[in-house]
Amino acid sequence: MALNAVPPASPWAGTAQACAGVEALVRRLDLFTLKLFLSVIDEGQFGRAAAREHVVPSAATRRIQELEELAGTKLFDRSAKGVVPSPAGRVVARHARIVLTTLDAMRTELAAYSDGSAGYVSIAATRLLIVYFLAAEIGDFARRFPRMQVELREELYPGALRALQAGEVELGVYDTRVPESEFTGIQSRECRKDGLVAVMPANHPLASASSISLEILLDQDLIGTRPGSCLMANLRHAAHGIGRELRLKRSVDTLEAARSLVSAGLGVALQPASGMLPLDERDRVVAIPVQGEWAMLSYRVGWRVGKSLSPAAAALIEQLTRHELATAA
């Protein structure tokens, strides 16, 4: 390279200059100047725009001059009759309107959060509770509060309490057979009562019984669901309480699969009473209430102690517990 040769321009030079220009805009440009700039366009005169924005004309003129310095070009064509935006001024005006419209939309949305009409809440529950009542409750909640978002997280037993304790979700819905004592720092309210039923073929010898005891239930060809499920854990614990071992004839992953086996005459399954039998199964299977305190279910909604609830979480708790409050009244 010759000694007097000009070194080639860096390929990043243009990018660096653009970044510096953006930084200058961010540091020096204020929203009031943009609003004043649009008022000058609307009024066609600095004096009237200044009066409209409640500033003295000299201050308005100075702000527009500073904006033109930032833009690096004139933004108005001036004449004795007034001012009109230059081609560059029309570009600035278009973006200024977008910025101010976006900020107004943000202000409206934030106001909705402050008055409790919008928000976000995350909630965890097992598949069983989602299917039996929580999905319907969230659907009703979405219709009542269309601007409140609910993130629903499906967890295995007892994952809802673990996720809640870890702060991964704001609310958890769970069966009280999950020992709350193992999960410190959680407070809760009851949201549902339920009971277990034995689902059996319609031609089963016990199909006409008004209820069934644990002892008789354990003598049946039982169809179990996922071994780690809350239902199976509760049944196993109840069996041990009377000195029996839980012996399953068959085991599947879901209650729907278990009912299909029942419908085929292959055994008896347990499910919560709130899980209504599908119409196409009601002529083939029956649901018989199970006797005993162990078969009584209580579902609770919990949150962390000392954690301030968001408006969305408070509204969802009210939604989930209103049935029990009405029953108590």
Residue-wise pLDDT for 30-54, tens only, equals 889 999 999 999 999 999 999 999 9
Do residues 170 and 149 lie in contact, with contact meaning Cβ atoms separated by under 8 Å? no
Q: State how far Cα 219 lies from the chain centre.
A: 44
Provide the token pair at 152: 């629903």
Q: What's the CATH class of domain 16-113?
A: mainly alpha
DSSP of 135-153: HHHHHHHHHH-TTEEEEEE
CATH class of 119-192+298-328: alpha beta
Spatial contact of 54 and 36, defined as CB atoms under 8 Å apart: no
> Taking the mean position of all CA atoms in its chain, how far away is CA 39?
41
Give the chain's end-to-end CA distance (angstroms, integer): 93
pLDDT of residue 18: 43
283 is written with which tokens? 């002529």
Q: Which residues of the chain have pLDDT under 70?
A: 1-26, 108-117, 177-182, 227-228, 276, 279, 323-329
Which of 9, 62, 8, 17 has its CA nearest to residue 36? 62
Q: Where in the chain is the domain with CATH 1.10.10.10?
A: 16-113
CATH 3.40.190.10 positions along the chain are 119-192+298-328, 194-296
Max CA separation in the chain (angstroms): 107
Q: 194-296 architecture in CATH? A: 3-Layer(aba) Sandwich (3.40)
Tally of residues, the chain? 329
- Which uninterrupted H or E stretch holds 321? helix 311-328
231 and 240 Cβ atoms separated by less than 8 Å? no
pLDDT given for residue 182 in this prediction = 63
By DSSP bridging, strand 186-201 and strand 268-272 are antiparallel
Instruction: Tell me the C-alpha distance between 258 and 235, whole Å.
Output: 15
Take residue 63 and report the two structure tokens written for it. 């702000």
